[in-house]
A and B are shown apart, each in its own frame.
Chain A
Amino acid sequence: MHIMEGFLPSPWWWIWIFISLPVIIYGIYKLNVLIKNKRDLLPLLAVAGAYIFILSSLKLPSVTGSCSHPTGTGLAAILFGPAISAVLGLIVLLYQALFLAHGGLTTLGANVFSMGIAGPVIAFVIYKACTKAGLNFYIAVFLACSLADLATYVVTSIELALAFPAQTGGVLTSFKAFATIFAVTQVPLAIIEGAITVLIFKYVIQVKSDVLVKLDVLSEAGLRKIKELTT
């Protein structure tokens, strides 16, 4: 999903850094508050980060004959909110930019925006909307995570289209060209990501369900209902 090093001309690379930076700073602030007040949630935070680590290293083949990888940010977004997910996303993107030459430092702002901010915001909003609408918890998680994954790639396409508008047809034509590569490839991967994240949530409920109530992901009553259904 990364925009490669050097592939965003000025002013776009610093515009995206400018947009992402405040979110990262706010995320670090939120992270500090979390670490101070709810230390017992740290292991789960590590899981959320580790999940992004794993999923973004899996380059899966897709219907379009090319490879791409899921993002894994939906889990962190549902558990800890988009700001903290942005920080976790930044860590993974830095690893890949520095050690793997995937993505880059000049394009870091744009990549953090698409993977660390846009995706998690979508996941968070969809999850909240679905639970408000009274949808089944697992379906809400599935929708939130797969659509967040897809949104990341749609946003990447927008970022590239803005920087490289086509001579005839402008931004919209470029967007279509980039979206056919990124977004279409991503559809099956997004479904897989959604499905696997649902499993992770199932196991969190099995081994340590109280953290979900603590994080306001589920209400006491909602948790009881899920447990009754599965046992």
Chain B
Amino acid sequence: MKLEIIVAVIILIFTAQFLYISSTTDAEFGGADGEAEGVIEELTGGTYEPIADPIWEPPSGEIESLLFSLQAAIGALVIGYYFGYYRGKKQPA
């Protein structure tokens, strides 16, 4: 149990940090990738043109979050199955 408590404390600290930052500043919490785009623009003086475009983009933020949650769900399913299977196997029938 000790490890779980340590991890829970770390997550609590992380959450507190988020609450503090979001209530004291007007941070936008956009993606870091997008901020890098800004730096590239600054460094090149706005002259840089991307050499390629994504072949397909999610048509909306909703669909993007759908695909992201699908990604997480696939992962969670596999991990849950693994631990559930071996845990069940260890217990006598």
- Which residues of A are in contact with B by a Cβ distance under 8 Å? 1-10, 13, 43-44, 46-47, 49-68, 95-102, 104-106, 138, 160, 164-167, 174, 177-178, 181-182, 185, 188, 191-192, 195-196, 198-200, 202-203, 206-208
Q: Is the interface of B mostly helix, strand, loop or mixed?
A: helix
Q: Is the CB of A182 within 8 A of B36?
A: yes
Chain B residue with the shortest CB-CB distance to A206:
B87
Please tell me which one of the listed residues B50, B72, B82 contacts residue A46 in the complex, with CB atoms under 8 A apart: B82
**A-B Cβ contacts below 8 A, count:** 170
Residues on B with C-beta less than 8 A from A62 are 18
Separation in Å of the A91 CB from the closest CB of chain B?
Answer: 11
Contact A53 B10 (CB under 8 A): no
Contact B43 A164 (CB under 8 A): yes
- Whether B43 and A50, one on each chain, are in contact in the complex, defined by CB atoms closer than 8 angstroms, is no
- Type the 1/0 row for B7-46, where 1 means its CB is closer than 8 Å to any CB of A: 1001100100110011001011111111111011011100
Chain B interface bracket (under 10, 10 to 19, 20 to 34, 35 or more): 35 or more
State the Cβ distance, A67 to closest chain B Cβ, in Å: 5
